[in-house]
Structure 1
Amino acid sequence: MDQIWRIAKTVVSLLFRRPLAGVSIIPLLADGRIVLIKRRDCGKWGFPGGLVDWGEDISTTAKRELREEAGLELKNIVRLVGVYSSLDRDPRMHSICITVAAEVGGEMKIYDTAEVIEVKAFTLETLPAGQLAHDHDRHLQNYLDNHTALA
């Protein structure tokens, strides 16, 4: 019985005590503006993104999340901005976020109203830098510095 209990604890640990993988997208419009979403959970601006669904690859997740949260179409992934895995990067859970910068098109529209309350394009001068959700200020700075982070 003791051995069964140890195995059960190990299985539960393997299933539920692992970081989740997610994607954030820095959406770049043709005119140079960057699109942000205003999150319903914290009321702050941030990049569109979310968890990778079972059976999805990173680019598929990026396309889906960009469409759901901002109504935009992913045209081209420009570059990897970083992989962020710090334990305190997201107050909700331990997650690993893969952030990409991408050229996007289409019209901004919110499809996921449970998570997003506004979507807006900002010039570099009007970005609410220093006030973004989670660790998105770090992602933004890495993008602006043309730095690829592993953090």
Structure 2
Amino acid sequence: MRRLWQFVQTVLGIIFRHPVLGTSIIPRLPDGTIVLVRRRDNGKWALPGGMVDWGEDIPTALRRELAEETGLELVETTRLVGIYSSPDRDPRIHSICVAIAADVRGKMQIHDTLEIMDVRAFELTDLPLGHLSHDHEQQLLDYLNGTTRVA
């Protein structure tokens, strides 16, 4: 019985004590503006993105999250901006975020109104730096500076 309990504890530890994988998209429209969303939970601007679902790869998660949160279509991923893994980067859970820059197109429209309350395109000189959720400011700065970060 003790060995069974140890096995159960090990399995639960594997499931519940490991970070989850998520994505952030730095979406650039054809006019060069960057699209951000305003989160309903904290009212801050953020990059579109979210958790990778079970059975889903990162490119599929990028397309799904972008469409749900902005209504936009991913045309092409342009570069890996970074992998962000600090345990305190997301106040809700320990998550590892893969940030990808992408060219996008379409009409902005929120489909996930439970999570997102606004979507807007910003000129590079008008980004709300200092008022972004999670570690999205670092992700945006890495993108703007041409840096690829593993942190």
Asked whether the two chains share a fold, i.e. TM above 0.5, the reply is yes
Match of 2:140 in 1: 140
Q: CA RMSD in A?
A: 0.6
SS in 2 for 1:125: helix
Structure 1: gaps (5+ residues): none
Percent identity between the two aligned chains? 56
Match of 1:74 in 2: 74
Q: Which amino acid aligns with 1:49?
A: G
Superposition misfits of 4+ residues, deviation over 6 angstroms:
none
Q: Distance between the aligned counterparts of 1:11 and 1:31, measured in 2?
A: 49
- State the 1:18 CA deviation: 1.0
SS in 2 for 1:9: helix
Match of 1:42 in 2: 42
Q: Distance between the aligned counterparts of 1:73 and 1:79, measured in 2?
A: 17
Q: Distance between the aligned counterparts of 2:142 and 2:130, measured in 1?
A: 13
Match of 2:150 in 1: 150
- State the 1:130 CA deviation: 1.5
CA deviation string 1:98-129 (max 9, x = no partner)? 00000000000000000000000000111101
Structure 2: gaps (5+ residues): none
Q: Distance between the aligned counterparts of 1:106 and 1:85, measured in 2?
A: 31
Q: Which amino acid aligns with 1:66?
A: L
Match of 2:58 in 1: 58
Given the two structures, how large is their TM-score scaled by the length of structure 2? Answer: 0.98
- State the 1:6 CA deviation: 1.1
- State the 1:38 CA deviation: 0.1
| Number of corresponding residues | 151
Q: Distance between the aligned counterparts of 2:145 and 2:130, measured in 1?
A: 15
